[in-house]
Amino acid sequence: MDTAQLVALNAAYARAIDNEQYERWPELFHDPCFYKVTTADNVARGYEAGIIYADSRGMLEDRVSALRKANIYERQRYRHIVGLPVVLGMADGTAEVETPFLIVRIMRDGQMDVFATGCYRDKVRPDATGAPRFAERIAVCDGGRFDTLVAIPF
């Protein structure tokens, strides 16, 4: 697994969400998996609980269903700008990676704000076909505006 593959995986991840092709998002994970959205403050304090949590593709798919219903009411769009991945280590075919992100939220009236910034802490390994997939993705937010009805995937 090289940097080019990690870059492609991250680009596909951002594109699925920003193009509102949410159904493609769970496909980028292994099953079972570990997905969590938390904050740097919570991590620093040793809190295990996250804002969002899933440990299977089924749970990720449930989130997509909830999002599709909520989206009838909330019409904001999001734009992920994903930074450069740093490979911290490689063990048993699994890469440990950190990748910074910035998410801009675009309201229906065109108003934009920085919705969240942070760092993805990932474990990535290939699936049976050789395609790299997330065994684990923890989105550690520096801060954020967690005021939406049902949050998009981070």
Residues within the interface to a second copy (CB under 8 A)? 3-4, 7-8, 10-12, 14-15, 18-19, 40, 77, 79-86, 98, 100, 102, 104, 106-107, 110-114, 116-119, 142-145
Using the minimum distance from each CB to a second copy, give the nearer residue, 107 or 149.
107
Using the minimum distance from each CB to a second copy, give the nearer residue, 9 or 135.
9
DSSP code of 69?
H
* Of residues 14, 25, 26, 12, the one with CA closest to residue 79: 14
DSSP string covering 16-67: HHHTT-GGGSGGGEEEEEEEEEEEHHHHHHT----SEEESSHHHHHHHHHHH
Question: Is the previous residue joined to 32 through a cis bond, with omega within 30 degrees of 0?
Answer: yes
**Least separation, in Å, of the C-beta of 14 and a second copy?**
6
Using the minimum distance from each CB to a second copy, give the nearer residue, 56 or 76.
76
Residue with token string 């989130």:
63
Using the minimum distance from each CB to a second copy, give the nearer residue, 70 or 102.
102
Residue with token string 């890469």:
95
**Least separation, in Å, of the C-beta of 131 and a second copy?**
15
- Does residue 16 contact residue 24 with C-beta atoms inside 8 Å? yes
C-alpha to C-alpha distance for 100 and 111, rounded to whole angstroms: 24
**Least separation, in Å, of the C-beta of 127 and a second copy?**
19
Using the minimum distance from each CB to a second copy, give the nearer residue, 127 or 142.
142
**Least separation, in Å, of the C-beta of 73 and a second copy?**
18
**Least separation, in Å, of the C-beta of 120 and a second copy?**
12
